[in-house]
Each structure stands twice: as structure tokens, then as C-alpha cells.
């Protein structure tokens, strides 16, 4: 997303300042090599640093700001932007729900949700944060999800090459503190030194569990059982508007009800995360998960001023002038 938004801005003839995250040391180092190689400094610049650097940047009168990160920092960015009446796109955090009803293909749903929750170490904004499974299908879903974990990562994921590392040891420590050992269905172990955290399934999950207090952003899939779909909708609504939502169902009426009733940035039916890769679709959050769409033409329209100009041309025919 960091590079996509820069491309969007450059395609409209704008200059860009990229502020990297302080924990992305390798990425920052690579950008320090590539950006000066292919761009003039006055066209694209890379800035590194922590809170103090960001604070100084936000004091500048930018024409547009794109920010991706937490809700708390997003509010800081928006307040700073307001001082200069600078428009923004904010892509923020949140718990993305998934719903698997009694008509769904359970094996397919489990496989896709496990992939969505654990690919790239679960460290992508559209990753499903938890899944509600109909009570008649919960045990089947858990069994299929465990099979999917083994298919994707083997019996010992720590020895494989298919699971991304966690961004920092601090985040591994945070994850270990969030998990109730008695609710671990699969995985649940980590190593701070190697920045490793096993792909993990948690059940039974309740809204009062620590794992549900905020966006996980790591390879953990909490599983909840439900009986009444209307109660599920109420619970999801009570926890803010998510960036993404996923519905697994063969029931067209129920699917239509959920799409109509739930407010979220974007999502998929019987799929996970793929909306992120379809460049012709708008992508962005709503409410606590952000504001403004980006990607493809939607990002170009949202982040650029459409300036209209009218011309009047004078045409002379003989001695008479016509204006139009």
C-alpha cells in the first residue's frame, strides 16, 4: 500500500515524501538505495524517524496526506491536517469479521479463512480478525481449519519457509500475552528472538477475551460460535465499522441481508482478501477503519483535485462575430 499510494500520486504529476515506519529497517534501507537511483530528490524523498519526525512533517502545509496505521495515530494526523485544511486518506485498524453460516462449504471456508488470517504472518490490513461460525458447523470448521494449517505450513511451521516472520520481538511478546492457553486449538507458541509466531486457532472465543480488544495483525484466527445471525450483526455493529468483512454462505437472501445491514470498507463473499488485489475496485475504510478510497482510478480521483476550466473561443465569419 505504501508504494501503491506513491505511484498514484506520481501518476498525477505530484511530488511525494515517503515516511517509513521505524520498525521497517530493511525496507527503509532498500528504499534509500532505490529512490535516489530512479528519482530526483525534489520529486520523491524518503524520510525516516520516530514520533518527533512525524510531528515535524505534519506541521508542513501538504496538499494531501495518506496515512495507514492505528486509529489513535490516525486521529493525530487528521487533527494536524485540519490546521492547514489538508485533505486526507486514512486507512486505519479494526477487527475484520468473517461469518460462516450453516449453508456454507465448510472445508472451502476454513481453508480460505486460514489463508487470509495467516498469509504474510497475518500482517495485512484486510486480514480476517475473527470468524463467527454457525453452531451446527463449528466443530467441522475447526477440524477443517486444522487440516488447512498443516497443508499450508506443515506439522512444524517453525522449520518451514512459508510463514512470514512477525515484524518485531515486541509484537511476538504482545501476542503471547493476548492468548488464553486453555483456548488454543492449534499453534499458540512463539519465539521472540526469531520473531516467530505459529499460525494459531483460538476457540471458544468471547468478546471479553484480551485477544478481542483490538486488531490482532498477526497469524491468529479467533473462532466464535453463533445461533442467531441478528445477534451476530448487533455484536459486529457494536465494535465499530471494519475495513473488511467476509461472508461464507450459499443462502442468497441471508448474504444480501448481511451485505445490506453491515457497514464495512470492502470485502468478499465466499472468498477472503482478494478485493485488495483487484485494481478496478475501490479500497478504503469507513468510520473507525478510515476514510477515502484508493487503488487504481479511485485513488487518482480521491487524491487529486479535479480542476475545471471553461474556454470561450471567438470565431469571425465575414464582418460578424459569434461567441460560443
pLDDT (tens digit, 9 = 90+) per residue, 295-321?
778 888 888 888 888 888 776 666 554
Rounded to 10 deg, the angle between the 71-83 and 51-58 helix axes is 30
- Between 133 and 275, name the one with better pLDDT: 133
Residue 310 among the catalytic residues: no
Q: Is the dihedral of CA 172, 177, 182, 183 positive or negative?
A: negative
Block residue for cell numbers 515535524: 56
In a domain, 324, yes or no: no
Residue 323 pLDDT exceeds 50: no
Cα(69)–Cα(198) distance, rounded to whole angstroms?
24
**Per-residue pLDDT at 324 exceeds 60:** no
18 occurs within a structural domain? yes
Pair (197, 69) in one structural domain: no
Grid coordinates in use for 55?
A: 510531528
The 10s digit of each residue's pLDDT in 99-151 is 999 999 999 999 999 999 999 898 888 999 999 999 999 999 999 999 999 99
**Which of 91, 139, 140, 310 does the annotation list as catalytic?**
91
Model-level pTM? 0.90
Distance CA 175, CA 122 (A): 12
**HSE, side-chain direction, 13 A CA sphere, residue 16:** 22
Higher-pLDDT residue of 121, 294: 121
First vs last C-alpha separation in the chain: 46
Considering the domain architecture, whether residues 113 and 242 belong to the same structural domain is answered as yes
Domains in the chain, number: 2
Strand partners, 18: 46
Q: Is residue 91 annotated as a catalytic residue, yes or no?
A: yes
Query: Which residue among 23, 41, 125, 213 is the active-site one?
Result: 125
Distances (CA, A) of 103 to 106, 133, 238, 270: 8, 11, 26, 11
pLDDT above 70: percentage of residues in the chain? 97
**Which of 212, 216, 239 is closest to 224 using CA atoms?**
212
Residues 69 and 129 reside in one and the same domain = no
Torsion angle, alpha carbons of 231, 265, 73, 80, to 10: -130
If asked whether residues 8 and 78 sit together in one domain, one would say yes
Q: Which domain holds residue 84?
A: 2-91+292-303
Q: Is residue 159 part of a domain?
A: yes
In a domain, 160, yes or no: yes
User: Looking at the structure, do residues 186 and 233 belong to the same domain, yes or no?
Assistant: yes
Same domain, 42 and 64: yes
171-201 tens-digit pLDDT: 999 999 999 999 999 999 999 999 999 999 9
| Mean pLDDT across the chain | 91
Amino acid at each position: 500500500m505504501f508504494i501503491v499510494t506513491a505511484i498514484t500520486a506520481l501518476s498525477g504529476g505530484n511530488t511525494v515524501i515517503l515516511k517509513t515506519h521505524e520498525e521497517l529497517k530493511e525496507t527503509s534501507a532498500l528504499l534509500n538505495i532505490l529512490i535516489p537511483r530512479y528519482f530526483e530528490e525534489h520529486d520523491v524523498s524518503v524520510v525516516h524517524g520516530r514520533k518527533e519526525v512525524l510531528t515535524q512533517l505534519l506541521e508542513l502545509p501538504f496538499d494531501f496526506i495518506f496515512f495507514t496505521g492505528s486509529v489513535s495515530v490516525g486521529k493525530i494526523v487528521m487533527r494536524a491536517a485540519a490546521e492547514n485544511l489538508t485533505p486526507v486518506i486514512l486507512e486505519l485498524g479494526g477487527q475484520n469479521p468473517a461469518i460462516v453460516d450453516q449453508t456454507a462449504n465448510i472445508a472451502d471456508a476454513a481453508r480460505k479463512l486460514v489463508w487470509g488470517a495467516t498469509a504474510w504472518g497475518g500482517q495485512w490490513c484486510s486480514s480476517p480478525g475473527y470468524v463467527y461460525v454457525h453452531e451446527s458447523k463449528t466443530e467441522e470448521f475447526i477440524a477443517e481449519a486444522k487440516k488447512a494449517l498443516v497443508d499450508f505450513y506443515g506439522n512444524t511451521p517453525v522449520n518451514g519457509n512459508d510463514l512470514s516472520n512477525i515484524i518485531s520481538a515486541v509484537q511476538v511478546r504482545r501476542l503471547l500475552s493476548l492468548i488464553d492457553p486453555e483456548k488454543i486449538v492449534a499453534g499458540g507458541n512463539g519465539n521472540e528472538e526469531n520473531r516467530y509466531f505459529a499460525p494459531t486457532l483460538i476457540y471458544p472465543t468471547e468478546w471479553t477475551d484480551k485477544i478481542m480488544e483490538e486488531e490482532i495483525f498477526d497469524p491468529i484466527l479467533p473462532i466464535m460460535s453463533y445461533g442467531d445471525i441478528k445477534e451476530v450483526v448487533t455484536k459486529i455493529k457494536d465494535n465499530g465499522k471494519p475495513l473488511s468483512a467476509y461472508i461464507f454462505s450459499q443462502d442468497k437472501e441471508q448474504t444480501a441481508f448481511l451485505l445490506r445491514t453491515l457497514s464495512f470498507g470492502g470485502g468478499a463473499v465466499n472468498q477472503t482478501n482478494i478485493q485488495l488485489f483487484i485494481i478496478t475496485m475501490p479500497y478504503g475504510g469507513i468510520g473507525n477503519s478510515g476514510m477515502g478510497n484508493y487503488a487504481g482510478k479511485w485513488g487518482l480521483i480521491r487524491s487529486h483535485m479535479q480542476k475545471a476550466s471553461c474556454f470561450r473561443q471567438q470565431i469571425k465569419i465575414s464582418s460578424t462575430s459569434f461567441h460560443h
